[in-house]
Structure 1
Amino acid sequence: MGLTKTERRLRIRRRIRKVSFGTAERPRLSVFRSNKEIYAQIIDDTKGETLASASSRDKELAKAKGTKSEIAAEVGKAIAEKAQKAGIETVAFDRGGNLYHGRIKALADGAREAGLKF
Structure 2
Amino acid sequence: MAHKTSTERRRERVRRQVRKVANGRPRLSVYRSGRHIYAQVIDDLAGRTVCAASSLEKDMRSSLKTGADTNAAAEVGKLVASRAKEAGVENVVFDRGSYRYHGRVKALADAAREGGLNF
Amino acid corresponding to residue 13 of structure 1 in structure 2: R
2:107 alignment counterpart: 106
* Correspondence list, 1:58-97, <5 A: 58-66=57-65, 68-97=69-98
Indicate if the aligned counterparts of 1:64 and 1:71 stay in contact, CA closer than 8 A. no
* Correspondence list, 1:12-91, <5 A: 12-21=10-19, 26-66=25-65, 68-91=69-92
Amino acid corresponding to residue 38 of structure 1 in structure 2: I
The Cα RMSD (Å) is 1.7
Unpaired segments ≥5 residues, structure 1: 1-5
CA drift of 1:9 comes to 2.3
Tell me which stretches of 4 or more aligned residues in structure 1 moved more than 4 Å: none
Q: Write the distance in 1 (CA, Å) between the matches of 2:97 and 2:29.
A: 7
% identity of equivalent residues: 51
| TM-score calculated relative to the size of structure 2 | 0.87
1:115 alignment counterpart: 116
Q: Write the distance in 2 (CA, Å) between the matches of 1:43 and 1:75.
A: 16
Unpaired segments ≥5 residues, structure 2: none
CA drift of 1:109 comes to 0.6
